Amino acid sequence: MYSIGELSKRTGVKIPTIRYYEDMGLLEQPIRSQGNQRRYSEDGLKQLSFIRHSRELGFSIEDIKELLELSQHPEYPCADAHAIATRHLEEVRERERKLRKLKKELLRITKCNADSISECAVIETLADHEQCVTEH
């Protein structure tokens, strides 16, 4: 059995985050000692490691809930987990496309050689964007 501090050290997950995962229903509520301290089993350690790795890969809390549920049913088809991962991959690809577009624009505006702010491409671009937003 592990205390919450030991669980934190073993997984690299901060104590408040462990409590948050419990509140969100991702991590099963641990048993309590007579002194009302949380006590986690080996399964709790494995579950938290699963959650941590899933978060490192950028899965949402909702996706992790689904994946954890699937992991409890080895007879379910792998296609269910694959669909979640594929959906997440598409979200990552979309963010990547947006980041490339952002990078291109930042590269463009940072090539500015203006002597004063009145001619600065950074300021002009940001000001023009503000007008576009208010016009819509």
Q: pLDDT tens string for the chain (136 positions)?
A: 888 999 999 999 999 999 999 998 888 888 887 787 888 889 999 999 999 999 999 999 999 999 999 999 999 999 999 999 999 999 999 999 999 999 998 888 888 787 888 888 888 888 876 544 444 4
Q: Domain ranges in the chain?
A: 1-75
Output the CA–CA distances (angstroms, integers) from residue 105 to 62, 85, 134, in the order listed. Answer: 33, 30, 20
**Count of CB atoms within 10 A of residue 68's CB?**
17
What value does the CA radius of gyration of the chain take, rounded to a whole number of Å? 23
- Dist CA 54 CA 131 (whole Å): 40
Name the architecture of domain 1-75: Orthogonal Bundle (1.10)
pTM: 0.75
